[in-house]
Chain A
Amino acid sequence: MSAGLPAVAGRRRNADRAARAGLLVLTLVALVPLVLIVFELLSKGLGAWSWTFFTTDPTGRFLGDPGGIRSAIIGSIVMVAIATAIAVPIGIGVALYLVEYGKSSRFADVVRYFVDVMTGVPSVVFGLFVYIVLVVSQIGGTFAGWKGSVALALLMLPVVTRSGEVVLNLVPDGLREAALALGAPRWRVVARIVLPTALPGLTTGSLLAVARAAGETAPLLFTVAFVNGLSLDPSARMNSLPLQIFNDVGQAQDRLVQRAWGAALTLVVLILLVTLLARFIQKRSRLA
């Protein structure tokens, strides 16, 4: 610290230096895997990228041209979009209940607790649940894209609700009271004042949930099942990026592993784009 004070005694000074150096080294160690993974993703993934890689579907042939990942990209986007359409309205609805009505009532606390419980449930268990409820029972056939979306929506729901609750709590009570004092009914206050004010934050939370769902493999495994061809019909089997990668890794053939690296880079880039968009919207929000 400042000059003029007696220097800290040798042993204590050395301990301080050693500890600081140790913490710095461990922090750098934490960054090593990131550097290694990014390096491998770029060096192997970019090699797989080409025009045809993005415009053809996997062929599923054991020899010859393995094909690209078009069906996987489109399938992932469709399934995550449906999952978002399910999870975001319900998730924000529950958050609205907790902030506007439940507050600190007994029931609201129980709901909060179970939302937390949902956050901790492993994604593979959600997959099992949807398999039991929707696939085994043969509702609308066996494996289908929308069933995968339901499994993903279960994963997204607690993320949307938790972040939504935080953001809705940031909306100043003064705004609500002003609107109520002007004679606006409660639903109008929510629809016209609370939701618009919280919109950027709610969007950020939803996009982060999307980023989480997009990379999930386990819940899709037994709800959508793997298929090579392109399908735009969510009531049929659909391909997806995570399942494509998982499948190619399992085959352990060089050209398929090559495609897995290309698909992995694509998936990571898509997830990063969504995450960046979420952060950008968060920065522009007026709520802290």
Chain B
Amino acid sequence: MAAGSISATGDRPNLGRSPGSRLDPWMQYVLTGLAALILALIGFFFVRLFVEARPAFDRFGYFGFVFDNNWDVSRSQYGAWPLLVGTLITSGIALVIGVPIAIAAALYVTELCPVRLRQPLTILLELLAAVPSVVYGLWGIFVLAPKLLPAEKWFSDTVSFLPFVGGTVSIPNYFVAGLILAIMILPIVSAIAREVMATVPVENKEAALALGATRWEMIRLAVLPYSRAGISGAAMLGLGRAIGETIAVTIVIGNAPNVGKSVFSQGYTLAAVIANEFGEAASDPIHRAALIAAGLVLFVLTLFVNAIARAFVNRGVRRERIVPQGMAG
């Protein structure tokens, strides 16, 4: 350091520093500490769940716990396969029903609807997100499921040749749970899809229109290809929500611990089993460990799905800065 620069450092009497600056490092330490706390918390979280779930994994093996079709509380047998299947079936139904509707609504709001209607429609779509899970459950079991029953019976009898349809129809079942989940993920999927579609450059859309494309062709050629990654991400985030949704599903799925024969059978999900059996498990260590292990499987599943979702959404966002390559996707 040259002599001239000395005056610019701390040696200079009190000119460059205000009296209160002693507190500055402290603020930095405290805020950094809080940020580190988040990491510590999640690490601790994972370790504690794992330690508490160990007895179940030790007894049934990791593979056995996840893939054995055998959840029988009375015989202390815990294989989570029926729960995993229930989680996958219900969230699969939710995706198949919810995502196309959510994307259609997002397209309509961003590209087709009169500007005056845009705001009110957006608010209405987001209102669905303000309804709590337990209220969806209440509505699902006392209004939706009974009203749907005749239609389900008719469908089950008419197209019983299809796989996983036909046979007895119970009031709480996989399909009703999936339908409720579809309604619950609709606002989030639609909101993210709308955000992604809003990033499509006006130039791309105007170019399509100027070439004589109809509105629908413009959507197909300019909007959808550009926002494909983001929309996939939105769908994955919706899937993550559907997998972890607990109370609504617990109320409408029937809580039967076996793999149902059709989509109209009663079932169980990973989240529902935890909510439903926790009371009785408190005094039975292996049962409790099994439920915590189910929670761990659920946790890992949502981590995985959300990581994929984030990768998609990030890819969609990064594309923003790059000139899109050709429109005919």
Interface positions of A (Cβ within 8 A of B):
1, 5, 8, 12-13, 15-16, 19-20, 22-24, 26-27, 29-31, 33-34, 36-37, 40-41, 90, 93-94, 96-98, 100-102, 107-108, 110-111, 114-125, 128-129, 131-133, 136, 154, 157, 183-188, 190, 211, 214-218, 221-222, 242, 245-246, 249, 257, 260-261, 264, 267-268, 271-272, 275
Whether B132 lies near A120 (C-beta < 8 A) is: no
B128 within 8 A of A: yes
Beyond A8-B212, A90-B34, A218-B133, 6 additional contacts (C-beta under 8 Å) are: A24-B112, A30-B190, A31-B124, A33-B186, A100-B31, A128-B292
| Assembly CA distance A132 to B306 (angstroms) | 25
Q: For the complex, is B246 an interface residue (Cβ under 8 Å from A)?
A: yes
Residue A124 contacts which of B209, B217, B271, B305 (CB distance < 8 angstroms)?
B271
Residue ranges of B at the interface with A (Cβ–Cβ < 8 Å): 16-18, 20-21, 23-24, 26-28, 30-32, 34-39, 41-42, 45, 48-49, 52, 100-102, 104-105, 107-109, 112-113, 121, 124-125, 127-128, 130-139, 141-144, 183, 186, 190, 209, 212, 214-217, 219, 237, 240, 243-247, 251, 271, 274-275, 278, 291-292, 295, 298-299, 302-303, 305-306, 310
Q: How far is the CB of A166 from chain B (nearest CB, A)?
A: 13
Residues A117 and B306 in contact, CB atoms below 8 Å apart? yes
**Cross-chain contact B23 with A26 (CB below 8 angstroms):** no
The answer to whether residues A101 and B31 also contact, given A27-B121, A132-B48, A268-B131 and a CB cut-off of 8 A, is: yes
User: Are A122 and B215 also in contact (CB < 8 A) when A24-B112, A185-B24, A242-B134 are?
Assistant: no
Instruction: Chain B residues near A211: list those with CB within 8 A.
Output: 130
**Choice from B124, B142, B216, B237 contacting A34 with Cβ under 8 Å:** B124
Partner of B34 from A93, A116, A124 at Cβ < 8 Å: A93
Closest beta carbon of chain B to A237's beta carbon, Å: 14
The verdict on A260 contacting B138 (CB below 8 Å), with A101-B31, A122-B244, A132-B48 known, is yes
Let me know if A272 and B306 touch, CB within 8 A: no
Contact assessment for A264 and B138 in the assembled complex, using a CB-CB cutoff below 8 Å: yes
Given A128-B49, A183-B18, A268-B244 contact (CB < 8 Å):
no
- Given A93-B31, A275-B130, the answer on whether A120 and B48 have CB atoms closer than 8 Å is no
A257 to B232, CA, bound (A): 39
| Closest-CB distance, A205 to chain B (whole angstroms) | 15
In the bound complex, what is the Cα–Cα distance between A119 and B246 (angstroms)? Answer: 16
Closest chain A residue to B21, Cβ basis: A185
Q: Identify the 9 closest CB pairs spanning chains A and B, nearest first.
A: A122-B244, A215-B132, A26-B104, A120-B306, A16-B214, A97-B31, A19-B216, A185-B21, A218-B246
Could you name 25 residue pairs across A and B whose Cβ atoms are closer than 8 Å?
A: A1-B209, A5-B212, A8-B214, A27-B121, A30-B105, A33-B186, A36-B143, A93-B35, A94-B31, A108-B35, A111-B36, A114-B39, A118-B42, A122-B243, A124-B274, A185-B24, A187-B20, A187-B26, A190-B27, A217-B132, A217-B134, A221-B278, A242-B132, A245-B134, A264-B134
Chain A residue numbers with a CB within 8 Å of B295 are 124-125, 128
Q: Is the CB of B104 within 8 A of A129?
A: no
Interface of B is mostly: helix
Contact indicator B137/A27 (Cβ below 8 Å) = no
Known contacts A96-B31, A100-B31: does B209 contact A26 (CB below 8 Å)? no
Q: Are B108 and A27 in contact (CB under 8 A)?
A: yes
Contact A90:B28 (CB < 8 A) given known A23-B112, A215-B132: no
Q: In the bound complex, do residue A221 and residue B292 qualify as a contact, i.e. CB atoms below 8 Å apart?
A: no
The interface residues of chain A lying within 8 Å CB-to-CB of B135 are 37, 41, 215, 245, 264, 267-268
> A114-B38, A187-B20 are known contacts. Are A216 and B104 too (CB-CB below 8 A)?
no
Name the residue of chain A whose CB is nearest to the CB of B32: A97
Most chain-A CB neighbours within 10 Å: which of B17, B243, B292, B295? B295
| Interface-central residue, A110, A124, A186, A257, by most chain B CB under 10 Å | A124
CA distance A264 to B127 in the complex (A): 15
Q: Which residue of A lies closest to B102 (CB)?
A: A30
A99 to chain B: closest residue by CB: B31
B residues less than 8 Å from A116 (CB atoms): 306, 310
Residues from chain B with a CB closer than 8 A to the CB of A93 are 30-31, 34-35
User: How far does the alpha carbon of A249 sit from the alpha carbon of B268 in the complex, in Å?
Assistant: 18
Q: Which residues of A contact B27 (CB under 8 A)?
A: 186-187, 190
